[in-house]
Structure 1
């Protein structure tokens, strides 16, 4: 394991760690992002989300994507490679140090002309942006916990207001209990056409909201929690 760079910041020490063809950003024992540095399309973490996106795009096209809690662009990297740089992506990250490390290490050799790294608070951004998106990933954490503000009705409504008429919203609910996920899922039931909780092979839950009519057979494999 090689530590490419380590910097101190208000919440601890950020480390860029390389092992073979994998590059990761960590804060102590907490992993923030991880990518493959080679030509791999699929990235080493959030595999369940990548598969869900693929299933969704068998029906609908994603033209504009938003990642709230962008980290070092794991999902943007997948989107760029899988869809041949056809998606305009906004990646919102609160910590400027993470954005600087992303630019320095995590985008090397990538075609990033449609990737916009935004240094802003995720909640402020989604409340104020005039844009609408076909895909939104909520990947917001303080340390390894999802902030309580993510569970509020106002935040869910902001997401709904800034999604297009056919759209996919996914929450990474790492460390949330199934009951917490089901409660958050209920908050979006009146705003989205489809809502469900899904779980990956490691036991991490994700909350999914979909606008538009989608064939149940496409999402059925993911309704497993």
Structure 2
């Protein structure tokens, strides 16, 4: 309890370990919340959880609550899963794909995500998973980072087309991005303009964080 109170004044670290994916992983108390941080950014819970919640609010909690299958590409500590369950009161199936087994171990230990009955964790590369799965999803959340870097494939046309193909009718994609410079901002603009407007609506949500930008894609049927 003392560490939690102290965290309102300064972050308090309770566990640190090296990561082959994100350089380091830290479990910290920050402003009274237990969070996971990588070397350079908040990785799960904290402001990232609040930010992704805004994306779900943009879709509409009632619409999300009625969905049957959700795919999360990039689980980390599963903060968005907690938002789905605690705030949206979602009761459908959640499949979470995460390449870093170490962060899932931490999430199990500190956040008890292994006790979420509707959550299935798959340790796999997100790119490979989407080309193997035959399941259709109502919502796909793309939150793929290695520290502050997004893998280049998230902007590639064949990856974009594949996740769109995995959408059910009237399904949605919520894509979390972190454009840190003009080049990356241009990538987002190009990505948004590349969609077929007859089949999809696509928009970026107003930035509430300095660097993160959410892109919301909705399939039109």
TM-score class normalised by the smaller sequence:
0.7 to 0.9
Map 1:177-192 to 2 at 5 A: 177-189=184-196, 192=199
Map 1:159-170 to 2 at 5 A: 159-170=163-174
Identify the residue that residue 60 of structure 2 maps to in structure 1: 57
Question: 2:75 aligns to what SS in structure 1?
Answer: coil
Shift of 1:46: 4.5
Identify the residue that residue 207 of structure 2 maps to in structure 1: 200
> In the alignment, is the contact (CA less than 8 A) between 1:48 and 1:200 conserved in 2?
no
User: More displaced, 65-74 or 52-61?
Assistant: 52-61
Could you tell me which runs of 5 or more consecutive residues in structure 1 were left unpaired when the two chains were aligned: 36-43, 214-225
User: More displaced, 117-126 or 19-28?
Assistant: 19-28
Alpha carbons of structure 1 residues 128 and 59: separation in structure 2 relative to 1, 3 Å: same
Distance 1:32 1:54 in 2: 20
**2:143 pairs with 1:139:** yes
Question: 2:193 aligns to what SS in structure 1?
Answer: helix
Structure in which a larger fraction of residues adopt helix: 2
Distance 2:179 2:193 in 1: 19
Q: TM-score, normalised by structure 1?
A: 0.81
Distance 1:207 1:55 in 2: 11
**Aligned length in residues:** 204
Question: 1:156 aligns to what SS in structure 2?
Answer: helix
Map 1:1-225 to 2 at 5 A: 1-11=11-21, 12-19=23-30, 21-35=32-46, 44-57=47-60, 60=63, 61-107=66-112, 112-175=116-179, 177-189=184-196, 192-203=199-210, 204-212=212-220
Distance 1:212 1:62 in 2: 16
Deviations 1:127-174 (A, max 9, x none): 111111111111111220222111111101110111101111011111
Distance 1:175 1:85 in 2: 30
